[in-house]
Amino acid sequence: MEALSIRKARASDSEFIFTVKKAAYREYVEQVWGWDDNYQWERHNKEFASHDFHIIQFCETDVGFFITSSTSDTLKVNQIFILPEYQGRGIGSACMTRIIDNANLEQRSVELQVLKVNTRGIDLYERLGFTIVGEDSIYFQMEKLPKLSE
């Protein structure tokens, strides 16, 4: 997807990131825990200060973000959210494919967890080749193993 680009988040992106998360994730949080704007904003501020955020751009417009973390053998997708008006256009799939391709180059698996109530997310990850490797009462843990080197 040529119109997709990714850039490192800047301090000035904090409010945009919170807006995206609220727009894309609130309905699921409300189903599981209930949404508390003050709590979510405090949590966001802590996460923003301590994580490596990336902004997803489509046709040079900021449309979402993701956070990853890694170990020597695993790349973990901590969060990925796309504004609802840009969902369903292949942006999330293209972004995840880039993440997977980068992990494959380093022979690392990709791991994530997804709320069980987020059936659209689960469907997307399964289409991309992730399998459920664990669960608790709220989340599925999913993994995609690296392609074997040829």
Render each residue's pLDDT in the chain as its tens digit; 150 residues.
Answer: 689 999 999 999 999 999 999 999 999 999 999 999 999 999 999 999 999 999 999 999 999 999 999 998 999 999 999 999 999 999 999 999 999 999 999 999 999 999 999 999 999 999 999 999 999 999 999 999 998 765
In a domain, 149, yes or no: no
Which CATH number fits the domain that encloses residue 115? 3.40.630.30
In a domain, 120, yes or no: yes
In a domain, 47, yes or no: yes
Q: Could you tell me whether strands 131-135 and 109-115 are parallel, antiparallel, or unpaired per DSSP bridges?
A: unpaired
Amino acid identity of residue 74, one-letter, is T
In a domain, 125, yes or no: yes
In a domain, 124, yes or no: yes
In a domain, 150, yes or no: no
In a domain, 30, yes or no: yes
Domain count for the chain, please give it.
Answer: 1
Residues 6+ apart with CB under 8 A from 104: 146, 147
Residue with tokens 């003050």: 38
Task: Give dist(CA 126, CA 96) in Å, integer.
Answer: 12
Whole domain around residue 120: which residue ranges? 4-144
